[in-house]
Each structure stands twice: as C-alpha cells, then as structure tokens.
Amino acid sequence: MGILKFIGRAAKELSVVFAALAITACASTGGPLGLSEAQEKAIGEQQHPQIVAAFGGEMDDPHLTAYVNGIFDRLMSASEQPNADIDIYLLDSPIVNAMALPGHVYVTRGLMSLASSEAELAGVIGHEIGHIFKRHTAKRVSRGNLAQIGAVAAAILTGDADTAQMVGQGAQLYLLRFSRSQEYESDLIGTRLLGASGYNPLGAAQFLNTLGAWSNLEMQIAGVQEPPEYLKTHPNSANRVQRAAQEANAIGAGGGDVIRNGYLKRIDGMIYGDDPMKQGFIRGRDFIHPTIGIAFTVPQGFQMRNTSQAVVAQSQSGAQMQFTGANVEQSPTQIIDGPLSESLGVQLSPSRAININGRNAAVGQARADTQGGQVDVTAYVIQWQGTMNYIFLWVTPANQTRGLQQPIAQSVQSLRTIDARSANTPPARRIDIVTVQSSDRASSLANYMAFPSYKEERFRIMNGLPSNQEVQPGSLVKLVR
C-alpha cells in the first residue's frame, strides 16, 4: 500500500454517482484529440508523476534499468522515428502491466517476471512505442487529475465486474481500453520493430500467449471472469496472438535474437510480488506495514488484497473495504464533508467528530444506488500524526449494514502502531534462476515455487512450458522463492 499525498477533486465527468472510471478525453480540432503534438506531450508530462507514483515509483536498480533502456534504444534506433522524444521507465510494481503516455513508455517488474526472453520484453516495449507513434495514447488519457481515493472507492462501489477487478489490480490511474484496431495496429508495429532491430519477431506473439494463459489462471484462482489490468487496457484474444504470429512469420520468425538465458540471468534475484517492507504485507486477518509502523485487522470472513494505492478487502456476501492514507491539511470532518465526498460523488454528511483510540477522527455515511442495488457507504477518517490521515471506506449492501456495524467498528478501532522490529516481516519473494538437472521434472521444480496452490501451473506459464512438455536438462528456468 502506498500513501497518497493528496485527495484530488473528482473529475466533473463523473456526473452519475459511481460511474465507470473511464473518463472521456476532450475533443476539439486537428490531431487525434484536436491537440498539437506539443499539447499531447504536455498531457503526458502532467500524467507522468501520477503513473509513476501509482505503480510504486521507479525501480531502484541501476543495472536492470540500464538493461531495459538498452532494449528500448535498440528498438527506437530501428524505428521510423529514431529521434522521437520518448523515454522508458521501469516501475517497482508487482502488477503485470505496460503503459504508454505521450513521450513515456512504462513497464513493471511484474511484467518482467512473466516474460521469458529479451525478445518477449522487446515485443511489449515495441507495442507501447507503436501506441505513441500512432498517437493512440493521446486519445486515451483522462483530462486532469483523477481523484485517487475516489477512484478506488468508485471502483468498489460500481459493483460491476469490470471496475471491481480494477480494484483487485490496484485501482491506479487508468487509461481507457484501447480499441481492437488500435491493438492490431500496435501489434503490427511492435512485431515489425522486433524484426527491424534484429530480434526474433515471434517474441510479441509468445508473450501475448503467456499473458493470456496467466490471465486465465489468475481469473480461475480469484473466481472472477474479468482479466487483469494489462488486458483491460490492451484487450487480448487468440486472434491477436494468431495475427502477431502470422506477421512474425511473414518477416522471418525463424531468425533473430531471442536471448532467453541472458534475460533470465538479468532478472535473477529480482523481487517478485509485493515488497513487504515497502508495501506492507497480509498475515491472516491483519495488514501490517512495518516501515510506516501501523497495523489493523479486518472482520472475520473478509479477504484482503494489498495494492500499491490501497488495501482492499471483500466478504463473500459482497461487503467491501478500502484502507488508504492521505496527507491533508484539514480536519477529519472537513475531509469527509469536502474532498472525500466530492471524489466519491456522494455527500457523506452530516459527518460527526469521534475519538478513536485517543485520536481525532470523524465518520460519515450515505446511501447510494448502484448497479447491484442499494449500498451504504461509511467513511472513517483518523488523524494519525500531523497532516497524515488514514481512511477506511466501507461499502455494504443496505440489507447487511446493521449486522456489520459492530465488526466494522471493531476493525476501525484495531488500527494501531507497531514496532518494525516486532512485526516479524517475512522476506520478499524473489525470482530464482536455476539450471535444470537430469533428475528434475516440471512437477518437482514446481514444488519450490513460493505459492500456496497451483504451483506447477504457475511454473509452466512463467517458463513458457506447455502442459505436454518437460523441462530440458541444462536449461535455465524461473522459480519464485
């Protein structure tokens, strides 16, 4: 969980309470949005800090960052616009994602952990470059600043699978879904860039195939029917994979650099998933953040997920919670009555001042109509230290609110300080590259994977190993330990 530095104002386009987060960009004349390239670049510069903050900041790994930059430079040098003013950033997020804004390309370490070769990563980067070259991103960026807390909460409140999964993947600053034609266009550019720069052009199709398999497994595990974040903004399909492969074959899929072993050695030791010290961790019903020095407990029956913007939890009956923090120079009642209500699009008033464990706090509640029926929204704001406030947002089906009042109150009251030394912080999981021995099998290697379930399925997908194939002695494979 990251700590928000402000509560932004809600975008005016959210005229319907808890409408979808996709905010329509403005249009006038000229260019994709009626904007000049300089204006598009300015939009990218404005949104850039929010993307970086929402996805964990830039990776503090000069060697890995330089490696990614080298791949990017190789692709750009072979492109039709080698001098285009574009930079690439490696983001410290476990979320599998890659994004583009005018002048900016982003990939996450989560995506790097899923790729199995330099050609695959280059295919992703080339695809994002394609979006910029064709000015797709200028059509997709939202106008102004999204209210970050409101965005996460609105995603919870909409009640539909699309926005609910957004919360599950982090509820970051979202770009609208690219159209199918735009995806095909960028696939084409990315695949051709691979060939032009000397990579095996099949890299793009291979990663799309891996991504689709990983997406299906994640949906199966989570019991949802919506894809993860990357596939929301980059719709995937078997047809996309097939078309990318056909284009690769047309330009010479049999040749070019793959660079599997070199890539795997580069990511050896990279953190996988959340960094417990930086992002906190979940232990049972407790969320613990040793660096910030806080912890709280969710009610029985709630399942938590730790995202880079918030901790979210959900019960089987549909009640949901979001916990986050904000540096705001306002009292708890002012926060609820002003920016928080504005960002949610519903008035959480009259708020009332309360005391929680000796700290100034406030609570506000409102009832709202959503696609799934009436819900009650309850917001608690606790002034923690100075201008730092912690915020609990609870969304409960109206017919469940009374029965959940006491468990919710107890959860809010459980917010407490902890000593980092006594937090018993688990070590971060890391990518471990190993050499396959003659006695190894996929099933035996999968036993080392630091996952509670679906070990072999994860192992096979992360290593691009089909279900009907075995590992080859002497080859390198990825483990997560």
- What gap in Å lies between CA 141 and CA 100, rounded to an integer? 10
More confident: 284 or 232:
284
Place of tokens 């613990």: 288
Q: What is the pLDDT of residue 178?
A: 72
Six token digits for residue 186? 């960028």
pLDDT, mean of residues 105-133: 97
What tens digit of pLDDT does each residue of 389-445 get? 999 999 999 999 999 999 999 999 999 999 988 889 999 999 999 999 999 999 999
- What gap in Å lies between CA 253 and CA 422, rounded to an integer? 55
Domain 429-480 is found in CATH 3.30.70: no
Q: What is the pLDDT of residue 2?
A: 56
Q: What is the pLDDT of residue 245?
A: 82
More confident: 12 or 191:
191
Which residue in 181, 139, 172, 186 sits closest to 40, CA to CA? 139
What tens digit of pLDDT does each residue of 145-168 get? 333 444 444 444 443 333 333 333
Q: What is the pLDDT of residue 246?
A: 87
Q: What is the pLDDT of residue 56?
A: 86
Q: What is the pLDDT of residue 230?
A: 54
pLDDT, mean of residues 440-463: 98
pLDDT confidence tier of residue 226, bands split at 50, 70 and 90: low
- The top-level CATH class assigned to 294-417 is alpha beta
pLDDT confidence tier of residue 253, bands split at 50, 70 and 90: low
Q: What is the pLDDT of residue 17?
A: 25
Angle separating helix axes 260-267 and 62-77, nearest 10 degrees: 150
Place of tokens 């989560």: 110
Q: What is the pLDDT of residue 466?
A: 96
The whole-model pTM stands at 0.77
Domain ranges of the chain: 37-267, 294-417, 429-480
pLDDT confidence tier of residue 347, bands split at 50, 70 and 90: very high
- What gap in Å lies between CA 30 and CA 23, rounded to an integer? 21
What tens digit of pLDDT does each residue of 19-55 get? 222 222 222 334 555 567 888 888 889 889 988 987 8
Q: What is the pLDDT of residue 155?
A: 44
Q: What is the pLDDT of residue 241?
A: 75
First to last CA, the chain: 22
pLDDT confidence tier of residue 1, bands split at 50, 70 and 90: low
Range in 109-113, 134-138, 465-469 with the lowest mean pLDDT: 134-138
- What gap in Å lies between CA 271 and CA 429, rounded to an integer? 6
The pLDDT mean for the chain works out to: 83
pLDDT confidence tier of residue 316, bands split at 50, 70 and 90: confident
